[in-house]
Structures are given as C-alpha cells and as structure tokens.
Structure 1
Amino acid sequence: MAKTISTSTLGPVALNPNTDNPLTITSTGTVTATGTAASIYGSGTAWTVSNSGSVSAATADGFKLSGGTTLTNGVGGVITSSGTHGGGLSVGAGIYVQNGSGNVTNQGSISGGGYGVALGGGGSVTNASSITAGEDAVRISGSAGTISNSGTLTGTFDDGIGLFAGGSITNASGGTITSSGTAGAAIYTSNNGATNVDNSGVISATVHTILIDGGGSVTNNQGGTITGGNAGVFFKNLPGTVTNSGLISGTVAPNGTGVYLENNGNITNTSTGTITGAFFGAFLEGGAGTISNSGSISAAIYDGVVLGLGGMVTNAAGGNITGGSTGVYVKYRAAGTVTNSGSIAGIATSSTGVDLAGGGTLTNDVGGSITGGNFGVFVGSTSTLATLAMIGTIFNSGNIASAKYDGIDLSKGGTVTNLAGGTITGGSNGVYVNTGSSGTVTNTGNITATATSGAGVDLGGGGIVTNSSGGVITGGGFGVFTTGAAGTVTNNGSITGAHGVSLGVGGSVTNSATGVVTGQTAGVFASTSASSTVVNAGHISATAGAGADIEGGGSVTNSAGGVISGSAFGVFMTGAANTVTNAGTISGATYAVDFTGSGTNRLIVDPTAVFTGKVAANSTAANTLELASGTGSIGGLGATGASFANFQTLAVDGGGSWTLTGANTTTSVFDGGALDIAGTLGAASIAFQGIGSALLIDNAATFGSNVGTSSYTGPQLQDFVTGDKVDLKNIASTGAAFTYNPSTGLLQVTNGLNQVATLDFQNSTLGNRTFQLTSDGGTGTLVTLGGTTILPSPPAVPGADVEWQNGPGGLLAAWNMNGAQVVASNYVTVQGSLAAPGPTWSVAGLGDFNGDGTNDLLWRNQSGTLVDWTMNGSQITSSQTVTFGASPATPDSTWNVAGIGDFNGDGKDDILWRNASGSLVDWTMNGSQVTASQQVTLGGGAATPDASWSVAGIGDFNGDGKADILWRSANGSLIDWTMNGSQISSVQAVTLGGSPAAPGSDWSVAGIGDFNGDGKADILWRNSNGTLIDWTMNGSQIANSQQVTLGGSPAMPDSSWQIAQIGDFDGNGTSDILWRNTSGAMEEWSMNGAQIASVSPVTFQGTPATPPLTWNTLSKPTDFV
C-alpha cells in the first residue's frame, strides 16, 4: 500500500513495509528530524522511494533503509544530513541503504556531513545534479557498484566516490567528481574487486585523483580531465589499464605523478592525450608492463616515463615524452624495450633521453628523436643491487643526441646498429662502451662527437666496429677509438678524427676499396701494448703524421688500388716483428715505410706496388724484402740512405719474376721464383728454397769480383737442386764449358767467345753436382743440375682419408683408407710438383670449406697470411689466399683458430676464431672467401668466455645439421653451445641424469665422432690411467655413458698409444679410431658405440704401415668435420 507525504512532517518517520511502500514525497512535503534517529527509516522489504520535497536529519541519516531500495530524488528534491564525518554510516548520511542492493537516481540535491549516498549492499547511483558529503559523496560496499555521473560529486574531507567491492564509474561530459580534502581521493576503490572508470568530464583531488586498490581500468576520453596533487591515476596492489585521450596530471611536488601503476599494467596515451606530473609523467612498477604513447607524457623534475621492473615503451610518430632528468627510465632490476618514432627528451642540462639501467633493447625509427643534456641513450647501472648483465642493443634510424657526454653510452657493453639516415651525436663520444665491456657498432648512417678530444666511437673494452658504405664516423680526437681489449674495425665508408682509427690494445683494421680513413696525427694508430693488423684497399691518410702508425708490431697490407699516405710517413712501424705488404701506393714525405725498433721486419712487394718516399728498416735486426709472385722490377737495396735500406735478405716468391736494377746489397732467397740481376748485387748468399727457383744474371762480369779466377768472391748459392737454374744472360752458349772445384764450390764457365762467369755453390746443400750448360733460348746460357729430382719415398701413410706432414714445413702425403688397409699412399702435389710449404707455414685446420665433400687444408703463415688448399685426394687443385671483401684476411697473432665446423648448416665448414681477449668471431666460408665475419653473440650481446674456459671439441651433438661447441672450464664444468651461424641459440650445462657432468682433471677429451651412427656426435674421454669412456650425446644431455670395451673387457691403451685421427675409415656410417704408437705401429679400431667391433693393424700392400715419427697427421681429433 502506497504512502505519500505532501505536508511538513516531524521525523523520524518509521515506514511500515505493508502500508508505506512505495513512498512518495511531493514538492510540498518535508520531513525533518531533530533528534538522533534517521529522518526516514524502514526495513523488511525492497523499498521504492520518490522524493521531490525535502528530507533532513540533524545528526543521523536522511534515509536509512534496509532490504534493498530504489530511490529517486527528483528535480527540486533535497535530501540532507547535518551529521559529522567519521561517525560511521548511521551518522550523517543523506541516504543509507543497508542489507540489500540500492539504486539511487538524483536530479536534485543530496548532502551529508558523513556521506551523500551510502549503499551497503552494492547497487547503482545515477547523478545528474549534486551530491556532496564530508566523508564520501558516494560510498558503495558489500557488492559491486555502478555510478553514472553528469552532475557534481564532491567529498570535502575524504573521497568523492568510494567503492569497496569494485564496479564501474562513468563520468560524462559536464560531470565533476571532486575531493577537496587532504585525506582522500576523488575516486577510491578498495582491493575487494576490480573497478572500471570511464571519464569524459572533470575529476580532481588535492591528493590522489583516482586511487584503485583492486585493479581494473581507467579510460579518460578526449576532453576529460583527471587532475590531482600526488597522482592523477594511481593503481595500487593489483595491475591496472589506463587509456587516455584527455588530460591526466599530478602536479604537486614532491610526489606528483600523472599515472602510477604500482603493481604492473598497461598505459595507452592516444594522440590527443596528455599525461604530466611534477616528478613523473607515467610510472609503472611491479612487472613488465607496457606504455604506448601517441600524445604527450611529461615530468617537470624527474622522468617522463619510468619502468620499475622492465617492460615496453612504444612512442609513436607524433608522440612526445619529456622529463627533467630522463625522458624514459627503466630501472636496474630488469631489462626494458623502447621503440620510438616520435620524440623522447631529457630537458635538464644533466639529463638523459633514454636510460635503460637494466639493459635491454632500444629501436629509434625513422623520424624518431632521442635527446638529453648528458646522454642521448644510457644503458647500464652502477648500483650494487644490480644483478643483470645490463647489456644494451640499440637500433637507430632517427636522431640520437646529447650535448655534453655521449650520444649512446653502453656502460656494460652491447651492440649499436645505426642504419642509413640515422644520426648519433655526442659531445664526448658519439657511441661509448665503458671500460671492461665489449661492444659492437655497425654504422650506415652518421656518428659524430663534437668535442675536440671526442671519439665518434669509443669502445672501452674492445669489440667490433663495422662502418658500412655510406656510413660516416667523425670525432674531434678520434673517429674510432678502442682500448681495454683488442678492437676490430671494418670500414666501407668514412672515418675521420685527429686519429682516424686508434687501437689502444691492438686488433685489426680492414679498409675496403670504398673506405676512407682520415686523420691529422694518424690515419690508423695502434699503441705499443699489442700487435695490430691493417688491411687496406681504399684510402688511409694523415695530414700531419703517419697514414698508419703501428707502435706494437703487426702487419699492414695495402692491396692493389689501396692508398696509404702521410705528411711524414706512409707507414710507421715499431715494436715487435712487423710485416708490410704493398700492392697499391704508400707515400710519405720522410719515409714511405719506416721500420724502427729492434724487431724483425718483412716488406712484401707486389709488382703493382708504388712507393713515394724511401723505405727503411732498422739496422739491428734480420730484415727481409720479399718480392711476391708476378713480374716486376726493383732497385736501390742497400744500407742506410738507400731507397730500400737495411734489408739483409731479398726473397722471391714462387711465380715471381723480378728484375733487380742498379746497385744493390742484400742476401737473396728464392721460393720457386726468378730474380733478374740487371745491375749489381752485393750479397753474402743466395738461397734457392722451393724447387724451380731461377737466378737471372744480366752481366756476369759484375756478379761478384775477380770473376773467372780462383780468388772470386761473390754471393754463395745455397740449396741449389735439380729443377733450379741460373741464367747467365750475357754468356753465349756456343762452346760453353765449365769446371767445378768441389773443394771451393766454384763453378767456372767459359765459351768460345772468351766470355767468363763464376758461381759459388755451397757444397753441403748442393744437389747431385751433375752440372749442365744449355742455351736459355736467347743469347745466354742456363746452368742446371742434370738427372731427376731425388725424393724420399712416401711414407706408408694416408691420403684422402688421412693427411700427413713430414715435420714443420716438410713434404705432405695422403692416405686413402679402406678400413685398416691403406689402399693408396701419395705425396701431395700441385701441378705435378711436390708441395712443401716451408717452415714459416703451419696447418691451422682441416675443413670442407667449399662444400665439395672433401676436406681442404687451411694454412697460416707467421706473417698472418692465410691460404686455402682445395684438395682432390693428394692433388692440390687450387691454392688461394683467404680473402674477405676482396682483401687478404690476415688475423694478427692475438687470434687463433679455436675450432672448425659447419655452424650455419650450409654444407660448408666455417672457422671459429678466438682472441687472447676472449672475443670470438665466426667466419662463414665459401672456399677461400670469407663471406661473413661476425662476432659470436648470445642474446644480442658479445660472447666472450674468460681464459678459464677452453674449446674441448666441435660436433653436431643434437643432430640438427649444425656444428655445436663444447666448452670446458678449468674447474671441469662443461657447457654446450647450440649454434646457428654466429648466434648462440642456447647455452646449457652438459648433464648426465639431470645433474651437471664435470669430469676431473685426470680426464681429457680424446676425440669427437659419431661412434654409434645415430647422426649425432659423441664424446670420447680418456683418463690418465688409460680408461676410455664413450658419451652418447643428445644435445647437452648425455644419453649414455659407457666404458669402451673389446670383447666385454675394458680397453685401456697405455700412454705409448695416442689417437692420430677420428674418421669413418671403413665407410659403414660410424666413426672409427686410428691409433699410433711411439714405436711407429698403427691400429684401427672399428667402433659400434662404446664397443670395439674389431682391432686391426694398419697395413699398406700387405705389410704394416709404420711411418717415421717425423711424420704427423694434420687432422684434429676433437674437430668432428
């Protein structure tokens, strides 16, 4: 039964659920309570109330209804309570609904000293007018609440809205939600439920504007404003999502923050959105959240954006992020990812654009700008609490700049890739990697340091710099500066500085045909601390010093077309042993090339070489001038002051045909080449090294003194054997005759024209002494030895399956195997002649570099030169210098081959190089060409194991078609690197039964091979007591560990037996073991997993094959190639 109040009524009014529901109060009705009870109260039903009049209470609630309520306060309706805040829901609420859901619609005025509307069982409030309270204008608890506001909600002491079980809030355009006190928020929600806020109006507070404890979302539409003192939006305890197209601000120091997500979440700021704070613009803690910005995010004092535990920041084109100290800051506790197509800036003089304290990845796209006062981008932290690697990976196609220090600073190492169109500018350095950390910089854009002492790129812990075609690197002091460890610089563009490139601890510089390196003091400078290598096919120059100044020894190779020039020196070298190879142009006003110090030096001259200025070696060491293959002429060899001064030895390479003009003083050595003495030669000796060497003497009368007499003095001819020749070009062969005195070694030659010549041979190295005189086909006489070349019979040893060498620099042989039988044993030959590289050459490794199915031989010279022999059985089908970018690849002595294997699965073996500093480089091979030279990386950062780790073996342990790397620590730990080219796809400890496998120091890896034929490499271990163990591998897991047995008993060869080679000698698909005894005896073990299927002596033509102990196999048992 309905009840209507149309007159003035003294409250309290108690409603009867049977007679007073619904209740209507007309515009003339008033209910006033002056006591401590509610003005109107009732329970026991779901109430429906409509008010257009006035309801007021002195100290209690205006309405206090229990059992659920729908209450409409119409236009002109006034509901008020004069009670005070802090007394609870029953004291001072305009409307209080308990024990049921309440639904309140207001078009009039509702106010309370404590609460405007309080719903104790959830429900909804729709406000189109005014609700004001001392505590909360609207409070909903007990269950979720829904609030729609287009009027005014004001909390003068605490909250404008308080939701204690979550729900949703919509503030329409024109709507205002305010907390004007210092104890609350405009909107507060507890952690009992998620809350979603949608705002198109105004929400403001003195402290926090929106404070959400229970997670949810805030959407601030275009035109909407959310402003507060401490935080515009604050999500506490649980993650939140903020989408902003209007204005969100926290303006009051010391804590003013636009958006603060304390426990993770996501922030999206659209193109019309602005987020600003006094201290922070947007601050995201507690997890790896995301911030996407197309509008404006700013902070006056500290950081525009902060990620406290990693995450991702994406700043789109048109987006602007600024901070007083930092534009974007990612704390040290986790790595972050920043992608920028807009503008990110630190605006204070000591600011940073982007600071990735925990490391991470930054991509600055085309049009993107990142700037700071001190640093454009800074990666890493000095915090003692930091536990991460803090390695940075930077990709730039836009602009990164700082005014004072570094455009990019990687304090813990990493990589920088500056793409075409990208600019990186700093005061001190364009790119800086801190001391002790390795860095990799690849540039196709522009990198600049503006300070007079600055470096375009400064790698404080060594590393790699690749400047591609079109790339420009410039610094006032240095174009590129590396220190702390070896540096590797490859240039196809332009590098400029007072020192173009400076290597503080050695390394290498490769300047291609398009590369230009320019300096004032030096084009390329290398300090005294380590040897260095320079390979040039372009231009290297210095306007006030040396084109290349190498102070710690090493090598300089100037290819055809290359130019190295300096105002004083073209090339200046001192320190340890030095080598300069020139096929281009080297020039200097003082010296073209100057070797100083006390080291041994070698100058290699190509027929195309041009020297502008003199060449001088030190006068204290044994220096060599080497004439390379081809046809050329040279002169002026002599002592100090000569064109080529202080070269005690003149060497002519195989295939070389050189004319020596003018007056010369030196000792000559041939290696299958030819030297034409057109002038004079004062030399103590001439050595013929390599069969087929030729000495051409234009005028025999000036070749020595007292020619034609027994008192002749002249160069002694050493190592002259069958196949070598001396051409006496002006001694006619008509009537030519000779006499030879074996006691003095003098050969006297005469002819019918009374012409005479004298040659002095060293008896101890002379061949068969059967001299022959024949016509040289022209006007001269050839002096040769008769008979055929006498060669030792080849040892009974392998060929295509097993390669041998007779001592360092000696002859080579090859065995073809069929199980334990040597079916063919041949010397290695090139174009029908025996191959013997000489003592300066050593085998660096065997591998199938061209993918033809047979192993090739990689040779390395003491000078650093590398040569690839393509093999076909025992025949060398091709011998080519290893090149990279058309220039010879000559790693210096700090680099060694750590292993050979097909790391990228292209069917061709690659070469793993390791530097003394720990750096690793992978060469992708195509025959003798290095198609790619890349630093080995893990997760984008350089992999540099310290000296306690060594490569124990190479093999495809997981059967994916790519070779993996087995590392062993000095403490016995084992690590498996699964490789994908130069990238390490995984690093895992080697385990057996789930536990790390760490054999003691009495165990060593004896060989790597597929002993069970499962397509995966296995590991053969050998103990110092002779015990052998076979590990069947499945990636980094040891599937089976078994002792090697023969007929069920352990096989334990004593220390007189060593493994010579691992290979499938019988062609059954499993690897076998070739053993060799100190007595020379050899055995072949045919394997079936850990079981030896058979043991057989190695035989050749039915007799035991026992090569002399001077012969050694060239294969490395731990490289399974």
Structure 2
Amino acid sequence: MSTIADINGDGINDLIIGAPSGSRVYVLFGTRTARPAAVPLANLDGTNGFEINGLENFHQLGFAASGLGDINGDGFDDMVVGSPTGELAGRCYVIFGRATPFDPVVNVLDLDGTDGFRLIGADNMGAGFTVSSAGDFNGDGLADLLVSEPYEGSHNELRGRTYVIYGTTDPVPATRNLADLSGAQVLRIDGQPDDLSGIAMAGIGDFNGDDYDDILIGAAFQNLGRSYVVYGRPSTNDEFAPPLLLGELDPLQGFEMVGEGGRFGETVSGVGDFNGDGLDDLMVGATSATGADLRTGRSYLLFGRSESFPDAILMGTLDGSDGFKLDGEIFRDKSGNSISGAGDLNGDGFDDLVIGAASALPVTDQGRSYVVYGHAGPFPSEFPLALLDGRNGYKVDGVERLDRAGSTVAGSGDLNGDGLADVVIGAADAPRFSSTGRAYVIYGTPEAIFADGMEGDNPVRQHSLDQLR
C-alpha cells in the first residue's frame, strides 16, 4: 500500500492498494469531492481509479507497490508494482502516469514501452519483493526506481542485491532485463553474506543535505540486524561499473546502522523532516525487539544531519540528540511490522510518522497503529508508544478480532485536496472470516480531537477504525 503521488495529473494525490493473493492492484484517484464511508474497489471504472491485473494468483502481483514520481520526464507521476514469484524470476511493472483516461482494467502483459514496461529479474532471486521510489538519486531532475532481489547469492550466503534504476527521457523497450542494464542505467548494490539485503528498502529524501536524494536498505538477518544508508550521487557513464558493496561503504558513500537484535531492518522508511531542522530523517523497525515486555517491537528514528556519520552507528546508543527509540506497548505487539512517514497530518509544520502493530491486542489480534507527531524536541532516548495522549499523537485500533489492522501503514499524501497529509492503515485479514482485506484512510486535521468534540483538556488518545465516517 502506497501513495502514488499524482498519476492522473489532476493536482491531487492518488493511492495504490495491493491485493497479492489475487494478483491484483487497485489505484484509487484522490478527489476533493466527499466520499462515502466505504468505497468498494470493485467499482473502479477508470474515472475514479482502475484495477491492474493480468497474472495468475501465484505470481503475487501487488506484493509490493510504490509511487515513483516522474521517471520518464513527461510531467506525470508514475508507479511500480512487484511480482516476486512471477515466472520464477520475479518481475516488476512500471506504469506511466497520464492525463488521458485509464481503462477500468490495465493488463500488465499489454505494456508496450509507451505506457509502461516490465523488468525481469534472475531466476529465484525474488525481484519485486520490495519496490520503492529512490527520489532523484543521481540529481538529473528525474525520479529513480528501487528494485530488490533479496535472495541474490549462493544458497549458503544470500547477500541480496538492490538496483537503483535511473529515470530517463529516452524511449524504453516493453521488457528490460535487470541483468542487461548498463552502469549508465543502473547502480547495483550488493549486501554482505547472509544479509538478505533489500528485504526492505526505501527512498529517504535528502538525509545529509547534499542536494541528492538518498536510500535506506534493510538487512534484518545479519547478526543483530543491519541497515545501510547509501547517499545519492551522480550516475556514471561506465557501462561495466562494478556493484557498490554495502560491507565496504566509506563515509562519502554512506554508513551502516547496527541494531540490537529483534530483526532490526525488517522494515525501513523515510519520515520526512520529523524534527524540523531542514533535513530528512529515517526510521528502522525491529519487530521482535524486547522493550518493556517480550516482542513488543521497537522502531528507531535517526535524524539526518549535514555532518559526516561514522562508518557504523550502534542504534542502541541513540540519546535523543541524534534520534530515539519508540517502544511497543505489550507482549507480542510486534510494533514496527510496518512503518512510514506520514507527512504533516496536523498542519503544524513538522512531518509526522505512523507505526503499525498488527499483532497488538494479542488476545484478539485486532491490531493497532500509532501516529506520532513531529516536533522540535527535546527528545528522550526512548519513547514508549503507550504515552501517546492525543496531543503528541494517538492510537488507532482495528475493528474486529483477527483484523490485523496495521499490517501495512502508509503516508498517502493529500488524498482529499485540503492541504493536509493523510494516512492509510491496512487490515490484511479484515473483515473477520472473509479476509478480503480493508484499507482505512484517515484524513489529516489541524484541530486536536477531543472526547466531547470541543476544544478543552480531554484529548482523545485512542480511536477505533470503525469510528471513521
């Protein structure tokens, strides 16, 4: 689930929702017109959005999806969807934005290079397991694309590989093989043995203030867990440029973050400028980390800065000045199973973040999500999510038993055109007994929400998704 930005060029952000069990993806156009409380995705007709399909269910089309920005220079934002088991090799499908109407159904097998293209990975490497925008990584004014192959490497030492595929205004063929792209078209980034690097990855904006957008790559299965920041840089004209090695990054190329265990690096995200210092920040999740109780989950927020970072940062040493930890609430919450920047939800000038805990409320597995408001600080070294009180953020609970709300979370940009960012929470197994899945859009608001509906001293700190109207 992801914001697409503005794929149809109407000035309002749009939303992409994956349904990989059925190999379908849905694009819902943003609108300033009031919506009903429930929008059936089966009713998309090309004017309000469209469906993407064309593959058998086992291909898992929509397992990953992302908006990209404008990768082909035509003035419209584009999108990518992953199919990690497609034809064994794994495939990704890039669909170009446009002003002309979309058909109600877009078949990915019909992409011909003018409306989008296919990317084919190596056999059994999982290309498309994760996909993301890289922002403008090489500084040429076009958006770039991230694709991972987390199972790249020999059977006994899966390193993982990430591709930064550069945007271009040149015509592209309908099918592109990842192995055939030259160094002028792509930067290959290889992990260390047993990293499974690229199991999570994200564009994080300009983290170090050098005017190039940067990327974040997770490697949760390496010892205590690792994640890597790779700084954006100009692309090369060397067709045979060797891969960048994550284990050998120098301070001009990026740095490594070492976790405290708990599958640190299983989720990663940019969060925009959370502390308002003018630099973008990042977040890394550790879903099995132990906070106050077993497997409560933990997320780590690291602030961007223009000063150089050391080769490696021990994330357990964050002290509030450089970032802080956000701890889950109770046993088996696994908070941080999904994380995202949320944009500025409350209009205070600071970007906010959202954290999913799909296993929260462990007796029922309703799931819970946490919205945390950005601010200028000061910050503690650790912040328990239990302390959200309506002023510094709030909690959102799933509706029914086994909903697993918070299985995915995303900042959706501004879907209703009111000038405030919105947030989306996915409940993969809702409604109960059908597990067709639901996504809930929560609109941003500049006003605090209070228990009696009026301004006062009784802020609501916890909501349920069934209260949305």
Q: Normalization by structure 1: what TM-score?
A: 0.18
Give 1 or 2 for the bigger CA radius of gyration.
1
Higher strand share: 1
- More helix, by proportion: 2
Q: Higher relative contact order at CA 8 Å, sep ≥6: structure 1 or structure 2? A: 2
TM-score (norm 2): 0.38
